[in-house]
Amino acid sequence: MSVTTSSVGRSLLTVGRRRQLTAGLLVTPALGLILLLFMIPLVRLIVHSFTTPTLGLQNYSDALMDRTTWRIIRITIEIAFECTAVSLLIGYPVAYLMATSSKRATKVILLFVLLPFWTSILVRMYAWMIILGTKGMINDALLAARVIDDPVKLLYTRFAVILGMIHYLLPFMILSLYSTMTGIDRDLMQSSSTLGASGWQSFWRVYFPLSAPGVFAGSLLVFILGLGFFVTPALLGGPRDTTMPMYIQQRVAVLQFDQATAIAVVLVVIVLILFAIYDRILGFDRLFGGLGT
Amino acid sequence: MRLKDRSKAMRLTKMYAVLCSGIVLAAAFGCGGGGDTVKADSKVVYINSSGGDLDVQLRKSYWDPFTKETGIKVINSAPVDNAKLVTMVKSGNVEWDITELSGGGEMPRDSAGGYLEKIDKSQLPLADLFPASVTDYAVWAAAYSTVLTWDLKKWPMSGKHPTGIMDLWNQKDFPGPRSIQKGALDNIEFGVLHAGVPQDKVYPVDLDLAFKELDKLKPNVSVYWTSGAQSVQAITDGEAVMGTTWNGRPYQANNEGANLGIAWDDANLKMSWYAIPKGTKNYDNAMKLMAYQMDATRQAQVAEGSGYAGGNLKTGDLLSEALKPYFATLPEHLKVTVVSDENWWKDNGPNAEQQFISWVTR
């Protein structure tokens, strides 16, 4: 019978070390891909913003001295925040339902949650344009029911943008919440009511805090994703729904690549700042802790 | 798992990990540099144009006959994207052999920037073309005008109806939401015209005056269109009752059953161009196709289908009556049209567009 792990001759690499090496090698493909397709272009972008057309902060002063840039930053953060709040409000009950239902029911709900992923986002946005338009389904229904006399302007509004973005982002929120909620021991709720807590108290003081990691993770994910939206605000939004990505695209379209790189870097910096604030207030370790252990 | 199996699994996993890492690293260091993905091919030419009904017409009148006569396959793509052109030329990975360029200063900017190949004028029927329609780097693709369109059901031609761009501001006679292009192009010209500037004094454009005048229009604008299709869709869908569009669009839409009017006062005439990106691999085929598209009969065919015609002097004689109300270079229309100053746009375009974004998000 042979000893299969480290034999005497291989004492240089202990089992622990070799496991680390293997882990490192396993991660290399993924890291390599991120490095190649993400980090290197990002670094080149940052370098470009500081060196073209001249060395220095010219691009940044051009971008940041313009009041429009700040206006658009505000709009972008606003939209992302509103999406996060709404998707949390809608997503939490759905995730709760999924986490507390029978296996079969959960699968059915999961199917509906994931269904949007199977259609192209562009097709979905055009569908929204048809539904929300002046001669669209919603206005037709409201007019037929005599609820309104004139069509309501639903398209090219902030409402339409949020609706379109939620359509895309809700599954991310729901799945984040769900993955945390499945780890919550339901007996805890029972114990809490045994000890005299009302239904609401049990939920608010026992269940909700335990689901917090999912809430934070889901919110962070949806918020960051929401900052980067281009297609939805462009197709469904009005002029005051111009986001940073759209702004960058506009600069590229008039061949002002240099300013575009500076604005792109500003967006990255904003995300990092928000990350830091998030960590300071809520703490990243909350994302990884508290799975009802 | 038994100890022996676990070890085997570990070894396979390690081999797999090393293999993957090796491939990624090799790819990272091996494929540096642009690389030739588009090869020179004597039997193919790639053309990029605006898309939509125009492309259908171009295929019928230009590209399929071209393939039949020369055996060179024409592969087309859309839409026109000047930033993409510049990026392609800069990166050395040029996908288009010949492309359309829109108005608004793109052609002079690209010519000055060195993004285009010099064209071989000897292959063109120069005697038949408008002199202004050929430069060192480009030829006219089409003359197109930004005009006013509206829902004919609301204001039919038999009664009081809009007569020109200035009616955008006329809520008294023609109330309702408006649709304008999302961008400074044309809108600032319309702005200063409404402020009272005469047509021959529009350029150089006073941007402050333009935006002050556009401020009066803004509360009534409900759609800022970004594509030709959207500009007519906005009217047919009822999002707006009146708006700007390019002259060929209502023609194409009405041929398909829409009910759109067209008005020419203070319209803005621009040229789109055909040019060859610098660094293309199929220059000869591109020039051949470019010359092929300059024929009068074929241009007339394209005009009948799309509403747009090119620079051949003889094309105008071959047009049908149905097309005339929509035709940009018809003499009666030219009388009331402002010709866009491409050189002003070349120098001031980016700043004007920048100010437009500022204005539109206020």
Nearest to A134 among B18, B28, B237 (CB): B237
Domain-embedded: residue B29: no
Task: Give the list of residues 6+ apart from residue A83 with CB closer than 8 angstroms, or none.
Answer: A162, A165, A166, A169, A222, A223, A226
Nearest to B4 among A4, A22, A67 (CB): A4
pLDDT of residue A241: 92
Structure tokens at B206: 């006073």
Q: Compute and round to an integer the Cα radius of gyration of chain A.
A: 25
Whole-angstrom distance, CA of residue A245 vs CA of residue B73: 37
User: Of A225, A249, A233, which Cα lies nearest the Cα of A128?
Assistant: A233
User: Of A169, A168, A90, A80, which Cα lies nearest the Cα of A125?
Assistant: A168
What's the whole-number mean pLDDT along residues A172-198? Answer: 88
Domain-embedded: residue B39: no
Q: Are B168 and B123 members of one domain? A: no
For residue A146, pLDDT over 70 is answered with yes
A292 — pLDDT class (breaks 50, 70, 90): very low
**CATH number of the domain within which B276 lies:** 3.40.190.10
pLDDT of residue B34: 45
pLDDT of residue B67: 94
- The DSSP code for B223 is E
Secondary structure of residue B82 in the 3-state scheme:
helix
Q: Are B243 and B357 members of one domain? A: yes
Whole-angstrom distance, CA of residue A98 vs CA of residue A112: 11
pLDDT of residue B315: 79
Q: Are B210 and B342 members of one domain? A: yes
For residue A238, pLDDT over 60 is answered with yes
pLDDT of residue B19: 75
Q: Report CA B273 to chain centroid distance, whole Å.
A: 9
Query: Do B268 and B102 meet the contact criterion of CB atoms below 8 Å apart?
Result: no
Mutate to test the interface with B, among A18, A25, A72 (most CBs of B within 10 A): A25
Secondary structure of residue B265 in the 3-state scheme:
strand
Nearest to B222 among A5, A75, A153 (CB): A153
* Maximum C-alpha span of chain A: 88
pLDDT of residue B25: 63
Helix (H) or strand (E) holding B294: none
Q: What's phi and psi for B282, nearest 5 deg?
A: -115, 45
What's the whole-number mean pLDDT along residues B87-115? Answer: 91
Q: Are B177 and B302 members of one domain? A: no
User: Of A239, A157, A122, A140, which Cα lies nearest the Cα of B238?
Assistant: A140
Q: Are B234 and B345 members of one domain? A: yes
What's the whole-number mean pLDDT along residues A246-259? Answer: 87
pLDDT of residue A288: 56
The verdict on a CB contact (< 8 Å) between B226 and A234 is yes
Domain-embedded: residue B241: yes
Q: Which residue has the tokens 């790819």?
A: B27
Q: How big is the A-B interface in CB pairs under 8 Å?
A: 91
Q: How many structural domains is chain B composed of?
A: 2
Chain B hits for A13, CB-CB cut-off 8 Å, are: none
Mutate to test the interface with A, among B16, B115, B357, B359 (most CBs of A within 10 A): B357
pLDDT of residue A93: 94
Percent of chain B with pLDDT over 70: 92
What's the whole-number mean pLDDT along residues A237-262? Answer: 89
Mutate to test the interface with A, among B10, B16, B20, B359 (most CBs of A within 10 A): B20
Whole-angstrom distance, CA of residue B244 vs CA of residue B145: 10
Domain-embedded: residue B178: yes
For residue B8, pLDDT over 80 is answered with no
Q: Cis before residue B198, ω within 30 degrees of 0?
A: no
pLDDT of residue A283: 65
pLDDT of residue A106: 92
Q: Where does residue B103 rank: exposed (0-12), middle (13-18), buried (19+ CB within 10 A)?
A: buried
Q: Are B64 and B113 members of one domain? A: yes
What's the whole-number mean pLDDT along residues A139-146? Answer: 90
Chain B hits for A256, CB-CB cut-off 8 Å, are: 350
For residue B30, pLDDT over 80 is answered with no
pLDDT of residue B1: 58
pLDDT of residue B33: 45
The verdict on a CB contact (< 8 Å) between B237 and A32 is no
pTM of the model: 0.81
Q: Where does residue A11 rank: exposed (0-12), middle (13-18), buried (19+ CB within 10 A)?
A: exposed
Alpha helix (H) residue ranges in chain B: 3-30, 53-58, 64-70, 82-91, 106-113, 187-194, 207-217, 228-236, 248-255, 283-292, 296-306, 331-335, 342-361
> pLDDT: is A215 or A287 the higher one?
A215
Nearest to B7 among A5, A29, A75 (CB): A5
Query: Do A79 and A226 meet the contact criterion of CB atoms below 8 Å apart?
Result: yes
pLDDT of residue B184: 94
pLDDT of residue B39: 54
How crowded is residue A254: how many other Cβ atoms within 10 Å of its Cβ?
Answer: 24
Q: Are B51 and B123 members of one domain? A: yes
Domain-embedded: residue B10: no
* Interface predicted TM-score (ipTM) of this complex, two decimals: 0.77
Average pLDDT, chain B: 88
Query: Do A269 and A63 meet the contact criterion of CB atoms below 8 Å apart?
Result: no
pLDDT of residue B263: 95
Whole-angstrom distance, CA of residue A171 vs CA of residue A220: 14
B26 — pLDDT class (breaks 50, 70, 90): low
Q: Are B284 and B136 members of one domain? A: yes
The verdict on a CB contact (< 8 Å) between A247 and B357 is yes
User: Of B161, B210, B238, B155, which Cα lies nearest the Cα of B356?
Assistant: B210
Residues of A at the B interface (Cβ-Cβ below 8 Å)?
4-5, 22, 25-26, 28-29, 32-33, 35-36, 66-68, 71-72, 75, 133-135, 151, 153, 155-156, 234, 238-240, 242, 247, 250, 252-256
Please tell me the least confidently modeled range out of A17-21, B123-127, B207-211.
Answer: A17-21
Query: Do B316 and B329 meet the contact criterion of CB atoms below 8 Å apart?
Result: yes
> pLDDT: is B355 or B36 the higher one?
B355
Whole-angstrom distance, CA of residue B133 vs CA of residue B142: 9
The verdict on a CB contact (< 8 Å) between A5 and B13 is no
Find the residue in B nearest to A256 (Cα): B350
For residue B86, pLDDT over 60 is answered with yes
What's the whole-number mean pLDDT along residues B140-144? Answer: 89
> pLDDT: is A94 or A54 the higher one?
A94
The verdict on a CB contact (< 8 Å) between B361 and A240 is yes
**Rounded alpha-carbon distances, angstroms, from residue A212 to A218, A289, A291:** 10, 9, 9
Nearest to A29 among B4, B21, B361 (CB): B21
Q: Are B223 and B342 members of one domain? A: yes
pLDDT of residue A1: 47
Whole-angstrom distance, CA of residue B3 vs CA of residue B8: 9
For residue B182, pLDDT over 70 is answered with yes
Secondary structure of residue A114 in the 3-state scheme:
helix
Task: Give the list of residues 6+ apart from residue B78 with CB closer than 8 angstroms, or none.
Answer: B48, B49, B50, B51, B52, B55
Whole-angstrom distance, CA of residue B19 vs CA of residue B14: 8
Nearest to A252 among B28, B83, B223 (CB): B83
Domain-embedded: residue B227: yes
* Angle value at C-alpha B196, between B194 and B202, nearest 5 degrees: 85
pLDDT of residue A244: 93
pLDDT of residue B359: 94
Whole-angstrom distance, CA of residue B192 vs CA of residue B196: 7
- A150 dihedral zone (left: phi>0; alpha: psi -120 to 50; beta): beta
Query: Do A262 and A62 meet the contact criterion of CB atoms below 8 Å apart?
Result: yes
pLDDT of residue B348: 93
A13 — pLDDT class (breaks 50, 70, 90): low
pLDDT of residue B42: 75
The verdict on a CB contact (< 8 Å) between A72 and B361 is yes
Q: Show the domain range for B209.
A: 146-269+332-361
Secondary structure of residue A225 in the 3-state scheme:
helix
Whole-angstrom distance, CA of residue B319 vs CA of residue B277: 32
Nearest to A22 among B13, B23, B361 (CB): B13
Chain B hits for A35, CB-CB cut-off 8 Å, are: 28
Find the residue in A nearest to B32 (Cα): A36
Q: Are B307 and B344 members of one domain? A: no
For residue B40, pLDDT over 70 is answered with no
User: Of A242, A223, A156, which Cα lies nearest the Cα of B238?
Assistant: A156
Whole-angstrom distance, CA of residue B201 vs CA of residue B338: 10
pLDDT of residue B285: 92
pLDDT of residue A189: 84
How crowded is residue B330: how many other Cβ atoms within 10 Å of its Cβ?
Answer: 17
> pLDDT: is A27 or A88 the higher one?
A88
Which amino acid, residue B24?
Answer: V
Query: Do B194 and B166 meet the contact criterion of CB atoms below 8 Å apart?
Result: yes
Q: Are B265 and B154 members of one domain? A: yes
The verdict on a CB contact (< 8 Å) between B24 and A28 is yes
A226 — pLDDT class (breaks 50, 70, 90): very high
Domain-embedded: residue B300: yes
The verdict on a CB contact (< 8 Å) between B222 and A253 is no
Domain-embedded: residue B23: no
pLDDT of residue B35: 45
What's the whole-number mean pLDDT along residues B265-288? Answer: 93
Q: Are B304 and B351 members of one domain? A: no
